[in-house]
Amino acid sequence: MAERAFDTGRRPQWCPGCGNYGILAAVRLALAELGLRREEVVAVSGIGCHGRITEYLDVNAFHAIHGRAVPVAEGVKLANPGLTVLVHTGDGDAYSIGLSHLLHAARRNADIKVIVHDNMVYALTAGQAGPTTPRGVRTRSTPAGNTEEPFNPILLLLASGATFVARGFSDDVQHLKELIKRAVRHRGFAVIDVLQPCPTFYDSRPLLREKVYRLSGRGASSLREALELALEADRIPIGVIYEAERPTFEESFAHARVPPALRGAAKPDLSGLLARFL
Ligand code: SF4
């Protein structure tokens, strides 16, 4: 299916130069090259500038409330494990209000593919510092410079047991497309932290263009090596940081389900206990 098959035809309402354009292009290309059909894909987005992507990506879509895109996606995947389920979420959506959902989905190895549009600022609400805003950056809520230490999302996700952790850059569309394809092919939870300039509220483009470099090969060969990559400070590696195999949440859940014939027999008899209180 051609890339244009995933285009709803609506004109994106993002600012000129916004990194969301690169992410949208990379997702469409990846889905086309994977040979997926619209009806085989569900995209769930959260609240933020990124959230509009489900208006422009022609697949089954759900625009969730703030911070809740991940649990919605987990429910979709459990209900129909045959679907490819994408989550589009922002740094505020994923790493602040929705953080516990994200980390627990990683721990469970839920088979969903999370693309974090990490512009390092709350952009939809007009430019406040967020969980990944670097120290010293001036925003509307930090006019004298951000005094808080930002999260290191890669470190956090590795520590949470994620089986696929990658970092991308929205200006490197071809590279990001390949990351998304690998994430979709991965069996289990996959997350890509996509560094994305927001020219309106925090234009990180010059800094990212200077510091970002592509990892060679297929990524770290051990968790220890991945942790070292996550801690790299002078330059910013993009690529697959870590990949491992583990049973998925959906597989474990299916095995744990009680067969219908045993459901009645398994129920405890509480009548004696209830009689004491009635
Ligand atoms: S405010 Fe920033 S993130 Fe939002 S659409 Fe504009 S450039 Fe993109």
pLDDT at 255: 73
Pick the atom of ligand 1 nearest to 196's CA. Answer: 3
pLDDT at 178: 98
Q: Ligand 1 pocket test: which of 15, 47, 124 has the largest number of ligand atoms within 8 Å of its C-beta?
A: 15
**Cα–Cα distance, 227 to 231 (Å, whole number):** 6
Question: How many whole angstroms from 24 Cα to the centroid of ligand 1?
Answer: 14
Residues 6+ apart with CB under 8 A from 201: 119, 121, 123, 126, 127, 139, 140
Residues of the chain with pLDDT under 70: 1, 257-278
Question: How many whole angstroms from 273 Cα to the centroid of ligand 1?
Answer: 60
Q: What is the pTM of this model?
A: 0.92
Question: How many whole angstroms from 198 Cα to the centroid of ligand 1?
Answer: 5
CA distances to 41, 156, 157, 162, 241 from 247, rounded to whole Å, are 22, 21, 17, 12, 20
Gyration radius of the chain over CA positions: 20
pLDDT in tens, 80-126: 999 999 999 999 999 999 999 999 999 999 999 999 999 999 999 99
Q: Ligand 1 pocket test: which of 49, 50, 125 has the largest number of ligand atoms within 8 Å of its C-beta?
A: 49
Provide the residue count of the chain: 278
The DSSP line for 155-222 is HHHHHTT-SEEEEEETT-HHHHHHHHHHHHHSSS-EEEEEE--BTTTB--HHHHHHHEEEPPTTS-SS
**Lining residues, ligand 1, CB within 6 Å:** 14-15, 18, 20, 49, 119, 123, 198-201
Q: Ligand 1 pocket test: which of 200, 202, 205 has the largest number of ligand atoms within 8 Å of its C-beta?
A: 200
CATH architecture of 3-275: 3-Layer(aba) Sandwich (3.40)
pLDDT at 220: 86
Interaxial angle between packed helices 20-33 and 173-185, expressed in degrees from 0 to 180 and rounded to the nearest 10:
50
pLDDT at 1: 63
Torsion 192-194-195-200 (CA) sign: negative
**237: nearest Cα among 219, 256, 254, 258:** 219
Compute how many other C-beta atoms are within 10 angstroms of the C-beta atom of residue 272. 7
With beta carbons less than 8 A apart as the criterion, state whether 130 and 121 touch.
yes
With beta carbons less than 8 A apart as the criterion, state whether 68 and 168 touch.
no
Pick the atom of ligand 1 nearest to 15's CA. Answer: 6
Pick the atom of ligand 1 nearest to 20's CA. Answer: 8
Pick the atom of ligand 1 nearest to 123's CA. Answer: 1
pLDDT at 254: 77
With beta carbons less than 8 A apart as the criterion, state whether 210 and 201 touch.
no
The residue whose CA has the least distance to atom 3 of ligand 1 is 198
The residue whose CA has the least distance to atom 2 of ligand 1 is 198
